[in-house]
Amino acid sequence: MVVSMNKQQYLEKTLGEKQFSPQKDSVKAFAPSNIALCKYWGKDNEELNIPVTGSLSISLTGMGTETALSIIDAKHDAIFLNQTQIDNNNSFAKRVIAFINLFRGDQQWRCRIDTKSDIPIAAGLASSASGFAALTLSLQQLFNWQHDLSTLSRVARLGSGSAARSLWNGFVLMQLKEDDAFATPINKKWPELRIGLLIAEEEQKPISSREAMQVTMNTSPFYKTWPDIVERDLTTIEEAIAQKDFILLGKTAEQNALAMHATMLTAQPSICYWKTSTIENMHKVWALRDQGHHIYFTEDAGPNLKLIFLAEDEEKVLAHWPVCQIIQPFTLPLQAVVNK
């Protein structure tokens, strides 16, 4: 049973190998960031990052993380973030090195990892999702694996739960199956759909999602309602996508995000990622809806809202939020992630 395994045992079971030896000197991969329309919040298994529920996301096609990995002749790994070397004791570097260690066993190779991300790190814009997905795709090349993307999704999940969904463009469903969890793409295009990034705050989040989930699960009286809410919302969002029912999609995604934040706000101590700008923007969205514009929002573990709307409301969105960065998620083929 997966439940009692540690990460190494899980990798051996999932990839069918124990030892991984680099087959190339340098590799590079890109993965898109993703935004959950039905959120993942809480782990059933901390060691293996197995979530309590499934989740469903949309990838920010073309926006994400590029990771270059090269083998170096050195005593320590060298971690670069957006072209600046960071201390190996920095929390980001530690997570990356811990992930690489899972594949190194007792081998002595060291590497340089260059992560370039066009999204603010740790501002609740799923930078860890694209980061660990890109790193996993780099490892596929480094070790010359031929694993399919759902297998790689299980590997990426060990780095960050949401990374499991960052291996495809378009809508992606994360499912729980027999004590395991992995994502698969949803084969449905919705070219008119738009995601707007409202980046009002760029500072690092005060509490990591990992820690926040734990506190919420352990202390919020509302958390026990969460799995049922997700089960209901997942079905509704899948239906909304199948029928291209935008109002149903937007409404359900917004309520799902607010329900997740309600579990956090009622945790002890309370976890509130909201800033003044977050609430101001929520009211702006609701006022525009009262005027008949179908604009919705979602919010992750950070203060920045992501708007969900259709192409017909693009001008309205830009008139109200001139700095809004608009993503067209369906400009690239669905199945062609990302490089193999």
Minimal distance in Å, beta carbon 34 to ligand PMV? 7
Q: Does 161 bind ligand PMV (CB under 6 A)?
A: yes
Q: Does 183 bind ligand PMV (CB under 6 A)?
A: no
- Binding ligand PMV by CB under 6 A: which of 53, 55, 65, 115? 55
The answer to whether the CB of 118 falls within 8 A of the CB of 79 is no
**Cα dihedral angle (68, 70, 72, 76), rounded to 10 degrees?**
50
Span of 22-30, 84-92, 160-168, 242-250 interacting with ligand PMV by CB under 6 A:
160-168
Minimal distance in Å, beta carbon 116 to ligand PMV? 19
Minimal distance in Å, beta carbon 162 to ligand PMV? 3
Minimal distance in Å, beta carbon 121 to ligand PMV? 12
Nearer to ligand PMV, 95 or 320 (CB): 95
Q: Kindly tell me the burial class for residue 115, based on how many C-beta atoms sit within 10 Å of its own C-beta (0-12, 13-18, 19 or more).
A: buried
Can you read off the two tokens belonging to residue 245?
Answer: 């029912």
- Binding ligand PMV by CB under 6 A: which of 20, 40, 92, 309? 40
Closest CA to 18 of 124, 112, 105: 105
Residue written as tokens 């260690």?
101
Find all residues with CB under 8 Å of 17, minimum gap 6, and list them.
Answer: none
Q: Does 181 bind ligand PMV (CB under 6 A)?
A: no
- Binding ligand PMV by CB under 6 A: which of 138, 160, 252, 281? 160
Minimal distance in Å, beta carbon 220 to ligand PMV? 14
**Three-state secondary structure string covering 148-199:** CHHHHHHHHHHHCHHHHHCCCCCEEEEEEECCEEEEEECCCCCCCEEEEECC
Burial 254-284 (b: 16+ CB within 10 A, else e): bbbbebbbebbbebeeebebbeeebeebbeb
- Binding ligand PMV by CB under 6 A: which of 67, 138, 166, 209? 209
- Binding ligand PMV by CB under 6 A: which of 15, 300, 303, 337? 300
Q: Does 263 bind ligand PMV (CB under 6 A)?
A: no
For residues 105 to 144, the per-residue mask of contacts with ligand PMV, x marking binding by CB under 6 A and - elsewhere, is ---------------------x-xx---------------
Q: Does 182 bind ligand PMV (CB under 6 A)?
A: no
Q: Does 301 bind ligand PMV (CB under 6 A)?
A: yes
Find all residues with CB under 8 Å of 306, minimum gap 6, and list them.
Answer: 35, 195, 196, 197, 198, 297, 298, 299, 300
The answer to whether the CB of 236 falls within 8 A of the CB of 192 is no
Span of 35-43, 175-183, 238-246, 313-321 interacting with ligand PMV by CB under 6 A:
35-43
- Binding ligand PMV by CB under 6 A: which of 7, 28, 205, 210? 210
Residues paired with 165 in a beta bridge: none
Using omega within 30 degrees of 0 as the cis cutoff, is the peptide bond preceding 269 cis? yes
Nearer to ligand PMV, 163 or 285 (CB): 163
Nearer to ligand PMV, 267 or 288 (CB): 267
Closest CA to 51 of 130, 158, 124: 158
Q: How many residues bind ligand PMV (CB under 6 A)?
A: 14
Residue ranges binding ligand PMV (CB under 6 A): 36, 39-40, 55, 126, 128-129, 160-162, 209-210, 300-301
